[in-house]
Amino acid sequence: MAGLTPVEIGLIGAGALFLLAAIGMRIAFAAGLVGALGLIALTGWEAGIKTIGVIPYAKSINYTLSVLPMFILIGYLAFYAGITQSAFEACRRWFGWLPGGLAVATIYAVAGFSAVSGASTAAAAVFAKVAIPEMLKAGYDRRLAAGVVAAGSTLDSLIPPSALLVVYGIIVEESIGKLLIAGFVPGLVSAAVYTLIVVALCGLRPELGRPITGYSWGERWRSVPGTFPILLVIGIIFTAMFYGWATPTEAGALGAFCVFVLALAHGMKRGELMQALQDSARLSVMIFTIIWSVLIFVRFLGFANLPETLASWIVGANVPPLLVLVSIYLIYIVLGMFMDPIGMLLLTLPVVYPVISALGYDGIWFGIVVVKLCGIGLLTPPVGLCCFVVNGVRPDIPLGDIFRGILPFIVADLLTLALLTAYPEIVTFILDVAF
């Protein structure tokens, strides 16, 4: 590419990647191809090929990456062990008296499951089986029933263990331990905002979901021991990282071991265990492949000096930082309509993160915000992965009804996003205590 500057080559490469992604090429192949060709164009054939060959090995031996398989394994073990029914029953007895009480119970049961799962799709599949039949049996509107399960499952992206937060930390080289701890409170805030939306909707329109009454205090307290397995895993993972007793990988391994023991206690069969291990291996390999390919692309952008040039240009343009931030939010919301969260993070962060840093925003805070934006992407059509999972489990509920059912929860997510933007201490205060 004689006559072109490195920045111009970087812009051509970025445009090519977006084009390939838009026409449907998988992000792993598109990023690897564009990154490889870009490195060869900038550094020559021999140097480019050597760089491409070194990156997968150099990143594979990174100890930080070992946390991903542990968190993924926790989720699949919990999924196949079926330790969610007791949590849902406890939430039903404690929150059922509210307007839309079963929907509220679903939100908090999913939040609890999120603490032993790193995959939103697993949460959507589990509670489509557990919660939707109960809500429909109680006369709940099917759009609300499906919508609350799909929306509640996105809490997985914030509440640790979160694979998305790990991927973010790896790409931008932020502390994974801090990210995981920081996601806990915003996850609870999201659940609270969902609750307010459900109570308000069902309070105004009782036919959507009426309260469930008739449980005595004794019945409520007797349901609490059923939540102990989930609370145990939460306590181990969060406490170990909060006090620095274990690295995220060690905490993940402890959590996986505890869920494995609990799964055996719940009667997990050999076939289910093998399926959990196989699913964990498949997802881990897929994520690692995407990471390797995108890191080749990131190295290409670094040689082209594109992220630094773009950051300098935006800072020098004297545009209000809040306007830049809101523009980035809109970009993520639009991309989330068409891309999976991991691909979206890997595609955008190499360019977006230097801009955020140059504007003075905290990297941990932005990680929580961008993962929340990914959660919105899991709901919005036409892709809306969690909505498709709910429809796959419950084909009797049309996909159109599910997409209509999640609209109030997208509004709730935007309100949560506004809260996190206006009050960043929601994210950072726990870090001040822990570190």
Q: Is 10 helix (H, G, I), strand (E, B) or coil?
A: helix
Q: Judge whether 227 lies within some domain.
A: yes
Q: Judge whether 241 lies within some domain.
A: yes
Q: Which amino acid is at 308?
A: E
**Rounded distance between C-alpha atoms, residue 78 and residue 384, angstroms:** 23
Q: Judge whether 2 lies within some domain.
A: no
Q: Judge whether 254 lies within some domain.
A: yes
The mean pLDDT value for 185-193 works out to: 93
Q: Identify the burial level of 16 via C-beta atoms within 10 angstroms of its C-beta, where 0-12 means exposed, 13-18 middle and 19 or more buried.
A: middle
**Rounded distance between C-alpha atoms, residue 355 and residue 249, angstroms:** 30
The mean pLDDT value for 78-89 works out to: 74
- CA-closest candidate to residue 143, choices 336, 384, 337, 387: 387
The mean pLDDT value for 248-271 works out to: 82
Q: Judge whether 298 lies within some domain.
A: no
Report how many domains make up the chain. 1
**pLDDT tens for each residue of 274-326:** 888 888 888 778 777 777 787 788 788 878 877 677 767 776 667 788 888 99
Structure tokens at 144: 């609300």
**Residue-number span of the structural domain to which 326 is assigned:** 66-268+305-434
Instruction: Supply the pTM of this predicted model.
Output: 0.80
Q: Please answer whether residues 80 and 267 qualify as being in contact, where contact means their C-beta atoms are separated by less than 8 angstroms.
A: no
Least confident among 73-87, 209-223, 342-356:
73-87
**Rounded distance between C-alpha atoms, residue 376 and residue 394, angstroms:** 21
% the chain with pLDDT above 90: 18
Listed in sequence order, the DSSP H helices in 61-100 are: 67-81, 85-95
CB atoms within 10 A of CB 133: 12
Q: Please answer whether residues 127 and 109 qualify as being in contact, where contact means their C-beta atoms are separated by less than 8 angstroms.
A: yes
Q: Please answer whether residues 309 and 358 qualify as being in contact, where contact means their C-beta atoms are separated by less than 8 angstroms.
A: no
Q: Judge whether 239 lies within some domain.
A: yes
**Rounded distance between C-alpha atoms, residue 268 and residue 272, angstroms:** 6
Q: Judge whether 54 lies within some domain.
A: no
Angle in degrees, 0-180, between the axes of helices 270-304 and 341-358, rounded to the nearest 10: 40
- Residue 142's pLDDT is 92
- CA-closest candidate to residue 344, choices 322, 314, 308, 375: 375
Structure tokens at 402: 């599910």
Beta strands in 153-229 (DSSP E): none
Q: Is 263 helix (H, G, I), strand (E, B) or coil?
A: helix
Residue 268 has pLDDT above 60, yes or no: yes
Q: Please answer whether residues 167 and 342 qualify as being in contact, where contact means their C-beta atoms are separated by less than 8 angstroms.
A: yes
**pLDDT tens for each residue of 103-145:** 999 998 888 877 776 667 777 877 888 889 889 988 999 999 9
- CA-closest candidate to residue 103, choices 9, 202, 216, 8: 202
**Rounded distance between C-alpha atoms, residue 410 and residue 111, angstroms:** 17
Q: Judge whether 15 lies within some domain.
A: no
Where residue 412 falls among pLDDT bands split at 50, 70, 90?
very high
Handedness of CA 199, 202, 206, 211 (dihedral sign): negative
**pLDDT tens for each residue of 195-212:** 999 999 999 999 998 888
Q: Is 370 helix (H, G, I), strand (E, B) or coil?
A: helix
**Rounded distance between C-alpha atoms, residue 252 and residue 428, angstroms:** 22
Residue 1 has pLDDT above 70, yes or no: no
Q: Please answer whether residues 346 and 164 qualify as being in contact, where contact means their C-beta atoms are separated by less than 8 angstroms.
A: no
